[in-house]
Structures are given as C-alpha cells and as structure tokens.
Amino acid sequence: MKFVVIIVSIFINTLSAQTSTKVSNSAGFSCSDANVRVTELAIDVKRNSKIVDMSNDIDQIKKIISDCKLNIANLGWRPDTFENWRRTGYEAELSFTQKFIEHNSQYIEVNSALENYKIYAQKLGLNSQDVNAYVSKYKKQGATSAISEKNKCHPKIDLRNNVLGPTRDQDSIGWCGGFAAADLLTYKLGKKISAADLAMNYRDGWSDNLLRWTGRGEHDFEGVWADRAIEATKKKGGACLERNLKSEDNGHSTLLSTLIEIDNSKKKSAHLSSRFCYKAVNSMFPNIPVAEYIEISEKATKANFVKMLSDKACKPRIPLNDIEIKTESAKYETDRKPLFDKINEQLEKSNIVAAAYNPEILYSIFSDKESKLHESVVVGRRYNLATDQCEYLIRNSWGRGCDVYDSVLKCEEGNIWVPKSVLAKGISNVSYIK
C-alpha cells in the first residue's frame, strides 16, 4: 500500500509540475495581457487533459475570464469547451487508475488507488453499484496478493560476487544479450567470459555490412539474445575469456567505433600497419602481436577479417559441452507468474537468470511506451518494507552510473532494485543455465 501511495503521488505531482508552471505564476498579471495569458494556458490544458486532471488550471482560466470580463467566443471557444476538457481529464485519470489497479493488485494492496478510482468514478457519474463491486473485487485481490507475495519473497538473495565483478558496459552497441550471456557463463564457470565473442558467434557474421547490425544508437536493444549466443558459442567449440577478447575498456574508443576501425582497416593495405589501427586491434585483442595481426590481415578477406582475429585470440576456447541453456517465455500477455516462479526457483538454487524485458520501465516506472526488448541478468531479490513489495536486483549492462534510471528505483553502481509490479509490466522471457 505504501508503494501505491508513493508512486501515484509521484505520477500526479510530476505531471502537475509540468503542466501548472504558468498557472502558478499568473497572479498579478494585467488584464491587458489576459487574452494572451488565457490562450497560453488553454493550449496546455487542452494537451495535458488527455493524460491528467487539469481542473485546477481550468478553474484558473475561468477565473481570469470572469475577472477580466473576456468574451470566450472571441477566443474561438464554445461555452462548454472547458468543461469538456475537464471531463477528458477525469476520464484520463480514471483510465490510468484502473490500469494501475488491475495490474498492481496482482502483487500489492491497491487501497489508495481504489480511493482515487472512487473519486473519479463519482465525478463521471458512474453507476454506484458497479463502482462498489469493482472496489470490492480489487481490494480483496490486492490484499490476497500482498500476503502471497511477501511469503514468496523470502529469504533475501544477493548473488553478486567477485567473479562477476562490477556491472559491464555494452557501450553504444546493441549487444545486451551478449553481455547477459557472458554474465551467465562467467557465474557458472568462475571465469570472466567475453561478451563480444558471444555476440559475434551469434551473428557469425562479418560477411554482411558491419553497420547493419552494430550501427545502432546508444541503448538500442536489438541484436543478440543470451540463449542463442550461448548455443552458437557452444557449437563453435567454447567460450572466450574476456582478457583475450575485450568487450569494454577499449581505451578512449567505444566498442562500436573500435569494431568499425578494425573492420575498415581491410579497405586499404597501406592502413594495415598504421599505429592507430593496431592500437584499435590491440585494445580489443590484446594478445595478438602486431606481426600476427599483419599476417592475418594479409590472409583474410574483408568478410572474415574480424572473425579470424577473434578465432586467433580465443585459442584455446573453454568447452561448453556440459552447459545447457533453458528459456521460458510468457504464454499469455497478462500472465507473468510462470516467469517469476522460474526466477525465484533459480535464485533459490543460487543461480542467476537472464531476463528479456521492455527497458522503458527503467527510465520511467509508469511508462507504457513500446520498445525493442532489452536483456539483463537478475542476481537477487528482497522484500522492501518501505514499499511493501518484492523487488528484483537487475544487473544491467549500461555501466556503473545511475543517472539514466527513474529516481524511484534504487540503483547501486548499475545494479537496480526493480519492484516486481514494475518488472512484470515488461518482462517477456527468462533464460538460465541448468
């Protein structure tokens, strides 16, 4: 229940702060500016009433019109314009609240949100019997869920360790699944595994234009999936150590720019032995001497140059014959229970889990924005008494910073505690090593 109060108030206060700035500063203006002032405010109200109750702002506009004796017809509005906007805001609040209740009541008590629902149901003149039945249903469901979730969320589990080390940084390349796969294997094998090698094995493919699959914007979440990357690497003969094929810490360059520089080095033979190009190669393949690099570049084609470098750097590979990767997907869009059951099962076996989910929930816990799936590793869980909800510890691959995440989420150097009700909105499948 505490969580409901916190996040509902944050949602409303945030929108109010965004939409009411001009209104709060309206005191003391001259009626000679009233037409311009009211028009500016009305534009804000018309736009924002689609997402939030703008009654306070509407009342302020109507007061200005009354005090300054404005003719709204001259401003292009009908007499019922403002009340229509008010009703639109009521409907938006009711819709948001219902979505919140129906989703979150599967995990926590939603009594505070139900009170908000009743307020707007009354404002809109909904049938009182229907309203009471709705409130009764979800109050009971929330109470039952809260007890069940609390029992499921014990004991606290935190599987971060020295082998995994600090959170990794996928940089500007869409290889989140490769980094998730590397964490799964690193945890299982006790050796730090190269995410870049896993991703390249999955793509297997330097035959196509490198930019076709690496030329992504920062935090573009497509390209590689953990389970498929592990299977592809298993078929190739095994995994590569991070120290032999580096996935991050490539000097002052990003992983993407380093790959492009290496790939482009085949375009001109004169460029092959240039200091800058070898510096790029050495940052990613530190164990390949310059002489061997030049030898490989002379034998390789444009299509297989980076592949030959990675094959050379990764010898000998770590066999994955005994590694079996399993994936569970949500069968129904609204039912995420089997996925969380599997996460809990594996965490309780001291095993970490890769989860594919909509990353928009990390930017804003209220987001309903569609996005390509992102993949991270779940390394822990806890019951948060402050929010009365189970939370899962996401080990992300966006580095150790915390500024990118919603401030409501607790971030610990790139590890984020995400409430179950929030993660449930976006999770699609989970993968783990048996």
Cα radius of gyration (the chain) = 27
Q: Give the HSE-up count for residue 405: Cα atoms under 13 Å, Cβ half-sphere.
A: 22
Q: Which of 283, 314, 345 is the last residue of a domain?
A: 314
pLDDT digits (tens, 9 = 90+) for 174-221: 789 999 999 999 999 999 999 989 988 887 644 344 444 444 433 333
Q: Same structural domain for residues 300 and 376?
A: no
Residue 379 pLDDT greater than 80, yes or no? yes
Q: Same structural domain for residues 40 and 139?
A: yes
Phi, psi of 69 (to 5 degrees): 50, 50
Angle, alpha carbons 149-153-157 (nearest 5°): 165
Q: How confident is the model at residue 372 (pLDDT cuts 50, 70, 90)?
A: confident
Q: Where are the alpha helices (DSSP H) in 153-254?
A: 176-189, 195-203, 210-214, 226-236
Q: Same structural domain for residues 37 and 86?
A: yes
DSSP letter assigned to residue 361:
H
Q: Same structural domain for residues 87 and 127?
A: yes
Please state the rounded mean pLDDT for residues 353-361.
Answer: 97
| d(C-alpha 135, C-alpha 311), whole Å | 62
Residue 145 pLDDT greater than 90, yes or no? yes
Q: Which of 250, 279, 314 is the last residue of a domain?
A: 314
CB burial of residue 37 (10 Å; 0-12, 13-18, 19+): buried
Q: Give the C-alpha distances (Å, rounded to integers) separating 293 from 65, 248, 274, 288, 426.
A: 77, 20, 11, 6, 44
Q: In the chain, how many domains are there?
A: 3
pLDDT digits (tens, 9 = 90+) for 382-403: 999 998 999 999 999 999 999 9
Q: Which is more confident, 298 or 113?
A: 113
Strand, coil or helix: 379: strand
Q: Which is more confident, 264 or 138?
A: 138
CATH number of the domain residue 382 falls in: 3.90.70.10
Q: Same structural domain for residues 303 and 340?
A: no
Q: Same structural domain for residues 310 and 331?
A: no
Q: Same structural domain for residues 359 and 307?
A: no
pLDDT digits (tens, 9 = 90+) for 27-54: 456 898 999 999 999 999 999 999 999 9
CB burial of residue 67 (10 Å; 0-12, 13-18, 19+): exposed
Residues 6+ apart with CB under 8 A from 427: 330, 336, 339, 340, 355, 356, 357
Q: Same structural domain for residues 201 and 271?
A: yes
**Residue percentage of the chain with pLDDT more than 70:** 80
Residue 175 lies in a domain: no
Q: So what's the pLDDT on residue 14?
A: 46
Q: Give the C-alpha distances (Å, rounded to integers) separating 148 from 139, 162, 360, 419.
A: 14, 33, 27, 15
Residue 280 pLDDT greater than 80, yes or no? no
pLDDT digits (tens, 9 = 90+) for 242-276: 999 988 855 445 666 666 666 666 555 444 444 44
Residue 303 lies in a domain: yes
Q: So what's the pLDDT on residue 206?
A: 40
Domain enclosing residue 369, as ranges: 153-160+325-433
Assess contact for 423 and 361: CB atoms under 8 A: yes
Q: How confident is the model at residue 333 (pLDDT cuts 50, 70, 90)?
A: low
Task: Quote the pTM value.
Answer: 0.82
Q: How confident is the model at residue 224 (pLDDT cuts 50, 70, 90)?
A: confident
Residue 120 gets the label, from left (phi > 0), alpha (psi -120 to 50) or beta, of: alpha
Structure tokens at 205: 């493919």
Assess contact for 64 and 75: CB atoms under 8 A: no
**Residue percentage of the chain with pLDDT more than 90:** 63
Q: Which of 114, 148, 182 is the last residue of a domain?
A: 148
Q: Same structural domain for residues 249 and 283?
A: yes
Residues 6+ apart with CB under 8 A from 315: none
Strand, coil or helix: 299: helix
Q: Which is more confident, 151 or 207?
A: 151
Q: So what's the pLDDT on residue 19?
A: 42
Rounded mean pLDDT of the chain? 85
Residue 104 pLDDT greater than 90, yes or no? yes
Rounded to an integer, what is the distance from CA 71 to the centroid of its chain?
49
Q: So what's the pLDDT on residue 288?
A: 82
